[in-house]
Structure 1
């Protein structure tokens, strides 16, 4: 298989928060790899913008260290590194004052030069509005400009709406890119290809044939180092409302009429609006919250959050239902948590058992077919099948996985491994191309908050604290009961 790289047009990218962790770990290495792949033109310009008093050479030195830390030695050639570093520039700006903005405008040059301008806001959300205002005030926004904002996009529906309103003062909806790096993962996009480019699964992709769906995002690390920030959000705001909601939408949405940004996002929005709302009684019965205890060499959540009375959850499990013809009666179980047994993200689609089995003596030991879409750490797809156990001695059935790991199945080329692009690489190039398919629309964000806000409110009104769970475990015991009551069980979070 030959990967096709389509170059993008010359552009200017301004990264606010250019000295931060995301820029060092993901954005700069990702841009370097796009140059290496021949997708980014050498006359593209990348401007770092932050409060630190650096010049171009100082920023290039910082970027060189980032490449040495986060790009493999085999991928770094001296000539290409120098070419990339020469594309970098730096402007000291202050989002809370007028300092540096005229310099940024001067260095970007005329607003009618025809180049795409992208402004990436890798900063705290409280600065989004101020930066948008000052971009407009300094005259650097062009008709072909785009603004990229990271989550959290508000902390409830009201604040998300206010943010959308403020951004729309200076940018049209077509210019606003709300980034969710999960949507840039190869496997997530392959979920759409599997469903809509193959006749095999789509006829079965409904409540008649699918028993239930499990979506898991497990992390082995805690919130150490960012406990005070995380304690203001929790797992529901940090993961469920955005990342997991997007995975749910892509799994459950109807086929769009065309593969274009608004058609895809229209169908995702329909899924969110079809989610059955949860009353306080539903919240008590269909959701579980947890906090990790100390263990496996780490502190407890309460210690990491520096608040012994914190009622913020580091774990959430819930049972969601989609009230439409395709999915009526098919539950979607979502779970996410910190300090669990291992790091893994997957979507598991469990099909119903055959309506009649002729192998009656072996049915109890077998499970139905399941399609497992792995997002991390090893992106790929597994289809669990039942076959005859090889050998004489009668008809003995066994389960086997049909496994495709993308790095193995698609990465081999001429006897070597082809590197799979990071999600941020793909998404940044989509920004430059003006392709919003993998980005959230404003009404999507607000609709997701409209569903999660009552759950968060019910937790607060109950006065109950999250259930403690052991670090290195699969989460609270009540999360197991959430499925046991339905006669089902979670897939193992395997270490």
Structure 2
């Protein structure tokens, strides 16, 4: 629907996501005059607050999580905020919530960040209160179920009130600048796309590494694990952007049509193509940290690490493995995509008639850093300076593009800034469509079925390491080394 909302309703408005991301993002947008002047932001949650109490809560969150130079006039922003307590499981409070939202002149955007069990009663409550009309759009934060079946139940419940063109499923990775820059790199530069195929690319690696443990997500994470928490959404979205065909246009339908083709072309993972792990006590950054079972307070078979060898069965990627790995308590926090090109078919530097040794060639490598630093590095072979009396010497040299340096005048934004603004304005391009979600779940569910059938238990690894040694072997038996 083509309208810019003048009401934004935030469910879970006193939760961790609201404090760290949503309220800071909205305040930063306000400071840059990117929100319409009459936009009213209504928060709701179980907490028994009034408007003044919520504004005090928001002020504390902003002072903690948003740099001072991005806050603008915080009092003006806080004046946009209102609050209505709500027990989402009963219909009683939704009428009062609708009164708090008030009459919208142009439209209402709803951001729903809640437990999966609350999706259906929340939708029913919104219908009961008349908050699902044609000028209302709905944004859904993960987790959207725990498997394909539960995901379909949630999507069916939401579809009872909202058509697909008014549903915005969020994946905050898609709001990151470098993730979007991947599309610009591929489709705005003539030198990459002709080489972006199995004839020239040997393999692709996608790594999402975290140094943290459970933190405040104990119950959720133990029910979820690394496969469902990271691979099913973020990592498969990154894979789809790397592997997709050129869309006809940069709009929601064209981009998402190409992504879903990739997800449907993913080959079912076979035995021996996954490794799971669970961290034990170790050290991160020189500080001792407990093991997963110690943090949890009990034994568990939940994986905190997973590595997968994946394949996209289409013409472009036939025979090119995609190595995925993600885990907690790894040595560093990093999210990156590595595109390893093939070696040149013939080296003219292999040696000369005088018996001088040849120069060793290394294949070109493109590294796209997403976090903590956003950068792009292309490694090329170059000649080492010298007279070469013993033969020519070559060395790989990185061409680095540090995005903050390349665009020094640009503001580095929180990923949710773009996504919240797109929600308010109605642009679905960077949101996930239902058929994408279901294709992702279908692939992940098969892996979990495989683990159950083989009674696969996570291998232990020491906190501060790069996971179980079997993950190294998963790549090395193909002659591949993980980029570290």
TM-score bracket, shorter-length normalisation: over 0.9
- Is 1:168 the equivalent of 2:198? no
TM-score of the aligned structures, taking structure 2 as reference length: 0.95
* Secondary structure of the structure 1 residue equivalent to 2:223: coil
Q: Which residue of 2 aligns with 1:3?
A: none
**Equivalent in the alignment of 1:43:** 38
- The CA distance in 2 between the partners of 1:388 and 1:276, in whole Å, is 41
Contact 1:117 1:142 in 2 (8 A): no
Q: Which of these residues, 438, 445, 450, is aligned with residue 437 of structure 2? A: 445
| 2:196 counterpart of 1:230 | no
Report how far residue 124 of structure 1 moved: 1.5
- On the 8 A contact 1:10/1:43 being kept in 2, the answer is no
- Superposed CA deviations along residues 195-244 of structure 1, whole A, max 9, x for unmatched, are 11111100000000000000000000111432232111111110111110
Q: Deviations over 1:448-479 (max 9, x none)?
A: 11111111011122223111001001111000
Partners of 1:326 and 1:306 in 2: CA distance: 47
1:348 aligns with 2:338: yes
Measured after TM superposition, the shift of residue 154 of structure 1 is: 1.1
Residue 81 of structure 1 corresponds to: 74
Aligned to 2:315: 325
Corresponding residue number in structure 2 for 1:290: 277
Mean Cα deviation higher: 209-218 or 433-442: 433-442
Structure 1 CA distance for aligned equivalents of residues 53 and 361 of structure 2: 62
* CA–CA separation in structure 2 for the residues paired with 1:102 and 1:348: 51
Moved more, 326-335 or 97-106: 97-106
Match of 1:470 among 459, 462, 478: 462
Alignment of 1:210-249 (within 5 A): 210-249=201-240
1:11 aligns with 2:3: no
Q: 2:412 — aligned with what? A: 420
**Whole-Å Cα distance in 1 between the matches of residues 266 and 37 of structure 2?**
47
Contact 1:132-1:167 within 8 A present in 2 as well? yes
Identify which of 388, 395, 398 aligns with 2:395: 398
Indicate which of 135, 138, 142 corresponds to 1:151: 142
Q: Show the counterpart of 1:107.
A: 100
Question: CA separation of 1:366/1:301 partners in 2, compared to 1, >3 Å: closer, same or farther?
Answer: farther
Cα deviation for residue 388 of structure 1 reads 1.2
Pairs aligned (count): 471
Provide Cα deviations, 1:125-177, integer angstroms capped at 9, x if missing partner. 22112111111110022212111111111111111111111110000001111
Aligned to 1:313: 303
> What's the secondary structure of 1:49's corresponding residue?
strand
List per-residue Cα deviations over 1:338-387 (Å, max 9, x = no partner). Answer: 00000000000000011111111577744211111111000111111111
The answer for the alignment partner of 2:66 in structure 1 is 71
Gaps of at least 5 residues in structure 1 are 1-7
The CA deviation at 1:99 is 3.4
Whole-angstrom distance in 2 between the partners of 1:119 and 1:376: 28
Question: Whole-Å Cα distance in 1 between the matches of residues 456 and 436 of structure 2?
Answer: 30
SS state of the match for residue 225, structure 1?
Answer: coil
1:60-109 per-residue CA deviation (whole Å, 9 max, x = no partner) reads: 001111111111123334xx111000000001111011232111211222
8 Å contact kept, 1:228–1:306 = no
- 1:371-382 equivalent positions in 2, closer than 5 A: 371-382=366-377
Whether the 8 Å contact between 1:42 and 1:87 is mirrored in structure 2 is no
Q: Could you list the per-position Cα deviations for residues 242-300 of structure 1 after superposition, in whole angstroms to 9, with x for gaps in the alignment?
A: 1100000000011111221111111111111111113xxx23x1100000011222211
Aligned residue in 2 for 1:184? 175
In structure 2, relative to structure 1, the CA distance for the partners of 1:224 and 1:57 (3 Å cut) is closer
Structure 2 match to 1:266: 257
Q: 1:126 aligns with which of 102, 117, 127?
A: 117
- Alpha carbons of structure 1 residues 459 and 218: separation in structure 2 relative to 1, 3 Å: same
The farther-off stretch of 171-180 and 353-362 is 353-362
Deviation (angstroms), 1:393: 3.5
> Aligned-residue CA RMSD in angstroms?
1.5
Distance 1:365 1:340, change over 3 A: farther
Describe the SS at the equivalent of 1:232: helix
Q: Does the C-alpha gap of structure 1 residues 205 and 220 become closer, same or farther in structure 2, counting only changes over 3 Å? A: same
Matched with 1:4 is none
Partner of 1:408: 405
2:379 equivalent in structure 1: 384
